[in-house]
Amino acid sequence: LNNTVPWPGGVLPFVLQGTFTQAELNNLNEACNMWSRHANVRCVDRTNQAAFVTLTKRNQGCFAYVGAGQSGSRQVNLGPEC
């Protein structure tokens, strides 16, 4: 894995886990659009990519496991107070 390009090709595959409101989905979409404009990172629905982000909505606060790996999921939790 090239440390200067954490997501190969600037593609960030993700899956949603939990029930997000339409407003929360709109905020996530806007965040992805901002990353695309300013960081050349494009969010895509995960298909078969080995490395991806799982966005969760649990009552456990706001947290993320930092960094991209070569395989597996990196969890980002968006609790109610995030």
User: Which residues are within 8 A (CB) of 51 and not within 5 positions of it... i.e. 6 or more apart?
Assistant: 7, 13, 68, 69, 70, 71, 72, 74
Pairing relation of β-strands 62-64 and 51-56?
unpaired
C-alpha to C-alpha distances, 4 to 8, 12, 31, 41, 45, nearest whole angstrom: 10, 15, 21, 13, 23
pTM: 0.81
Model confidence over 25-80: pLDDT tens digits? 999 999 999 999 998 899 999 999 988 999 999 998 899 977 666 678 889 999 88
